[in-house]
Structure 1
Amino acid sequence: MEIKAAIDFIKENGRVRIKEGHGSIIELISLDHWSPEKDQYEGIFLFFDLFQIRTVAHQFSEVSLDIIEFATKPTIYHTPVNKILQKGPIEHGNVRFAVLKKDFWNKLLFAYSQPLILQYRKTQEFDFETKEFFPLLSAGTKEMFLSPEGDIKIHKS
């Protein structure tokens, strides 16, 4: 799968389904095309860099940013939503996000340059296939609540 082809597909359709290296189907959705009627509130915002966090969350302290930056395993963070975000997978006033550092997936997000929303799909239909493993599907994925002030609560370690 070429990154450019997937990005062009997202720009044209607002979403893309990719069969990743484990065989799972993931769907990446642009924020403008996320719909509460057909999409999941468990969606996860995906970022290629820390500065993008501001688009969905309150401004983080240096401690919180360090926790994210120096994480060695793929991690899904839960945090209070930024009040300017009116649409998207917001659940009980919180959003979930991950910063993908793995080469292929980081490059894909960088090429799109806007946050994408991840959903896992049960369907076997997909638009593209890659041998690259999606990092959030690995056994070592962590999940934690992280407040802008640096408070932490581990959900899954």
Structure 2
Amino acid sequence: MAAQLISQAKAVGMTLVWSGIGSAILFKLVDIVIGLRPSEEKEREGLDITDHGESAGLPLKDGGKLGSHVFVLNGANAAAQGMHWSAITHQQAATPLTRDDVVMQRISAEPAFVNEMKARMHPGMTMVLTDAPLSPDKRSSKDFVIVTTG
């Protein structure tokens, strides 16, 4: 019985080594032939544009800068009809402060995107809007990123 167990353990070990070496060779071959990652230039421009010819960004109705804003969705209370946004805004000292409702009105989006957002809205939801540059390793330098939980 011990001999059979040792024999099977050797077979499992050889299978792991064989599949590991084979996978490494195929991995390297694919990397050489077509590449495993897009170029840094494509990542900076945004893969939605370079690969699909579409922009996933949310255009501003009047152009210009957006600034950085954090919105929190609050539930209904006695003073408000339905849910409403509370905001924390950060702008450079030389930039005049923009009212938060004006920031929201400047953003335009496709109806499908708006419907997706509405389906995920709930009290306590946090939304961050910024035109500040993000690092390229996050792959979101020009893209709009939605992160949800649950």
TM value normalised by structure 2: 0.24
Task: Name the structure where strand makes up a greater proportion of residues.
Answer: 1
TM-score normalized by the length of structure 1: 0.24
- The structure number with the bigger radius of gyration is 2
